[in-house]
Structure 1
Amino acid sequence: MDRFNAFRIHNDDAGYRAGIEPMDRDALTPGEVLVKVAYSSVNYKDALAGTGKGRILRKYPLNGGIDVAGHVVASTAAGFREGDAVLCTGSGLSETRDGGYGEYARLDARWTIPLPAGLDLRESMILGTAGFTAALGLLQMQDNRQTPTLGPIAVTGASGGVGQLAIDIYSRVGYEVHAISGKLDHFDHLKSLGAAECIDRHQLVFSGKPMDSARFGGVLDNVGGGMLAGLLPLVAPYGNVAICGNAGGIAFDSTVMPFIIRGVNLLGVASAGTARDMRERVWDHLADDWKPQHLDRIATREVTLEQLPDVFDHMLSGHSFGRTVVRLTAV
C-alpha cells in the first residue's frame, strides 16, 4: 500500500494545524529503512508539537511522533532486512524528519536500532524516549562511578513518564530511590514501582546554604530551576546529578561549592541526539538487566491516531499520568 494515513503537522500561510491526512510513501522524508509502524508513544514534546504550543518542528510539514517501532518493509542499508523488528527514538523524528505518527516511516539507518531480544514492539514504546532518557541518565551516572553505596537517588518529577520508569529501573538495579512529586495521590503507585520514600515537593524546604548535610547519593532531575539549585548542596561527595528536563525553568541560581568541595558532577542527558554506541548500550540494558518490572502498570493508556488531540490536551493540562502508547497497525 503506497498510500496511508498519518498525523501530519503544518505551518504555512493557512496557519498552524495538525490532523490525520492521507499521504504517499514517496512523500516521506528520505531514509534508508522503510518501516511499517506498529506503535509509537506520546511524550510532552509530542503534545507541544501537535498543538502548536511549542515550536518543536524545524521544517514543515512533518508527521508527529518522536518515537517509532515496527517492522522493516524495505532497506538499502546493510544490517536491515524485510521483516526485521526495529525501533527509533529522537534522532530528528518530528523535528527535521517524519516521525512515528503514521502507518509508515522512513528512518535513518544510523539511528535505527534492531529490537533487542527481551523486548517486544509494544514494550519498546512504553519505554520510548521516556524510558531511554531515564536509562541514559543512569548509564552516564554509573560511567561516572555512581554506586548504591553513595546513598539514595532522588528522582524529581517522579509522577511523570521519565520519573516512573526511572523509579522502576533504578530500584531494580539496586538503588534506593526517593521520589519527589507534588502529586500526593500518586505516592502509593510510586511506592509500588519501587520508591523507598516519597517526598512532597511542596514540603521540601531548602536551607539556601551553598553546602548542606548530604541527603542523596545522586539525582535524576526532570525539573531544573529552583529544584536543581536546592538539591545540589544535598548531594554526597562524588555523587552525580543527571539533568534531563526543565519543567521548573531553564535557569538556576547556585554556587560552585558542591562541585569543588564535594566533587559533585552535573551531567546533561541529551536523549534526542545520543551517540549510536550509547544508544545500543542503553537499549541492551533496557531489554535485559534494567528492564522495568511494571511496564503494564506504567502504560496507562493505548490510543489511535484519531485520539491524539484529546491526549495532547489532557497532557498539557497537567492531568496525564503514566505512559500513553499509540497503536498504528495490528501486530
Structure 2
Amino acid sequence: MFKAVMIEKSADGTQSVAIRDVPEDQLPEGDVTVRVEYSTLNYKDALAITGRGPIVRSFPMIPGVDFAGVVENSQHPDFAPGARVILNGWGVGEKHWGGLAQKARMSGDWLVPVPAQLTTRQAMEIGTAGYTAMLCVQALQREDVTPDKGPVLVTGAAGGVGSVAIMLLSRLGYHVVAVTGRPEEEAYLTGLGASEIRARQDFSTPGKPLDKARWAGAVDVAGGVILANVCASMAYGGVVTACGLASDMSFPSTVAPFILRGVTLVGIDSVMCPKHRRLAAWAGLAELIDAAKLAAMTSDITLDDAIEAAASLLDGKIRGRVVVRMP
C-alpha cells in the first residue's frame, strides 16, 4: 500500500478528493516504478484538485504533474534501480497517475536523470515551474535576445514560473522587469534579481494595437489582455515566450506588433517537450540555479496538506514554489 492524493468522480458527476491508501498492484502500466521522495504543487495540480478546471481526463486520478525520486524496479535500459529521476509532464496527473503519491509507475521514456549537482528536493524546488521557466529563457537565447538588447519583462512574477525566470535571467545578466499584482512582494522579487517592479493593472485593461516600445524579451504566464499588451509594447525584433493562461486563455491582440515591429511570439509547452530540450533545460538549471535563493522562494508542505494548499494557490495566497514531502 502507498499513500496518495486521489481524485474521484461519482455517478452523478460530483468530484471528491482525499488522501487514500492505494494497493501497489493498482499502479498503471509502465516499465519503471519510482519511490517518490518529493513532488510539487503546480497551477495545473491545483485546478485538478479543486475541480476549478477540466484537467483530469480519467477517474480515479492521482494528480501531480511532476516528481523526483529513486527507481525501485525497472525494465528500461536507461534506468537501473537506485537511479535518481525526474518526471515532468507527459499527461501525468491528467490521464496517467501522477506524482502526489509515495509511488509512481510510468514509461522510462518520460523520465530524465537528476543532474549530479542537484538533490531530489532541489529538483522539485525547481519543478515543472522552474523547468518551464528555463525553456522560456533558452527560447529567448535561441532567438538572440541577449542582455545588451534591452530589458526583459516577466509577468506573474511572484508565482513559480515567474520567480525562477527572474532568478535565471538576472544570473545571466539581463535587466529584469517584474510584473505582479502583489505589491507587498517587492522585496521578494528584488531579492530574486528583479531590477524594476511594474503593477499588473498597467497591463490588465485593453490597450493600443501598438504601445511605446519597451521590452527586448518577455516571459508571459498570463495570456489574455496582459499578453496582448505585452506584445504591443515590445521593442523592434522583440521576442515573447508564452507559457501560461493564469489570466485568460484568449489572446485579444492584432497583427500590428508582428508585421510592424517584427515581434516573435514563441509558444512554450513543457508537457510534450522533446527529450533533448528537457535534458538541455535541466543541465542549464543545474548550472544557473542559486541554491540559497531557490530555498528562500520555496515553502514545504506534506502530502496531507496538498488538498487545502491547492485552493490557496489558485487564490493567489502562495508565492514561489511549493514542495510536497512524501511521508
Q: TM-score, normalised by structure 1?
A: 0.94
Query: 1:165–1:292: 8 Å Cα contact kept in structure 2?
Result: no
- Equivalents in 1 of 2:177, 2:18: separation in Å? 40
The residue number in structure 1 matching 2:307 is 309
How is 1:55-66 mapped onto 2 (pairs within 5 angstroms)?
55-66=54-65
Aligned-pair distance for 1:316?
Answer: 2.4
The residue number in structure 2 matching 1:320 is 318
Residue 6 (structure 2) aligned to one of 5, 8, 21: 8
The residue number in structure 2 matching 1:214 is 213
Aligned-pair distance for 1:251?
Answer: 1.6
How is 1:214-233 mapped onto 2 (pairs within 5 angstroms)?
214-233=213-232
AA paired with 2:313? M
AA paired with 2:65? I
How is 1:174-253 mapped onto 2 (pairs within 5 angstroms)?
174-203=173-202, 208-253=207-252
- Equivalents in 2 of 1:156, 1:138: separation in Å? 14
Aligned-pair distance for 1:212?
Answer: 3.2
The residue matched to 1:191 in structure 2 has which SS?
A: helix
AA paired with 2:124? M
AA paired with 2:44? K
Cα distance change, pair 207–80 in 1 and its aligned pair in 2 (3 A): closer
Aligned-pair distance for 1:253?
Answer: 2.3
Cα distance change, pair 204–56 in 1 and its aligned pair in 2 (3 A): closer
- Equivalents in 2 of 1:304, 1:274: separation in Å? 29
The residue matched to 2:271 in structure 1 has which SS?
A: helix
User: What's the Cα RMSD here?
Assistant: 1.7
The residue number in structure 1 matching 2:170 is 171
- Equivalents in 2 of 1:210, 1:49: separation in Å? 35
Query: 1:173–1:290: 8 Å Cα contact kept in structure 2?
Result: no
Cα distance change, pair 96–291 in 1 and its aligned pair in 2 (3 A): farther
Query: 1:223–1:245: 8 Å Cα contact kept in structure 2?
Result: yes
AA paired with 1:165? V
Aligned-pair distance for 1:160?
Answer: 0.8
How is 1:1-331 mapped onto 2 (pairs within 5 angstroms)?
3-13=1-11, 15-203=14-202, 208-290=207-289, 294-299=293-298, 301-329=299-327
Between stretches 276-285 and 211-220, larger displacement belongs to 211-220
Between stretches 182-191 and 230-239, larger displacement belongs to 230-239
Q: TM-score, normalised by structure 2?
A: 0.95
* Structure 1: gaps spanning 5 or more residues: none
Aligned-pair distance for 1:233?
Answer: 2.2
Cα distance change, pair 53–212 in 1 and its aligned pair in 2 (3 A): closer
Query: 1:286–1:292: 8 Å Cα contact kept in structure 2?
Result: no
Structure 1 segments of 4+ aligned residues over 6 angstroms from their partners: none
- Equivalents in 2 of 1:287, 1:100: separation in Å? 22
AA paired with 2:250? A
- Equivalents in 2 of 1:154, 1:287: separation in Å? 23
- Equivalents in 2 of 1:198, 1:99: separation in Å? 36
Query: 1:125–1:325: 8 Å Cα contact kept in structure 2?
Result: yes
The residue matched to 1:313 in structure 2 has which SS?
A: helix
The residue matched to 2:209 in structure 1 has which SS?
A: coil
AA paired with 1:5? K
Aligned-pair distance for 1:122?
Answer: 0.5
- Equivalents in 1 of 2:208, 2:317: separation in Å? 34
* Structure 2: gaps spanning 5 or more residues: none
- Equivalents in 2 of 1:268, 1:234: separation in Å? 18
Aligned-pair distance for 1:153?
Answer: 0.5
The residue matched to 2:240 in structure 1 has which SS?
A: strand
Cα distance change, pair 204–49 in 1 and its aligned pair in 2 (3 A): closer
Query: 1:150–1:236: 8 Å Cα contact kept in structure 2?
Result: no
Aligned-pair distance for 1:211?
Answer: 2.7
- Equivalents in 2 of 1:35, 1:10: separation in Å? 23
- Equivalents in 2 of 1:235, 1:113: separation in Å? 35
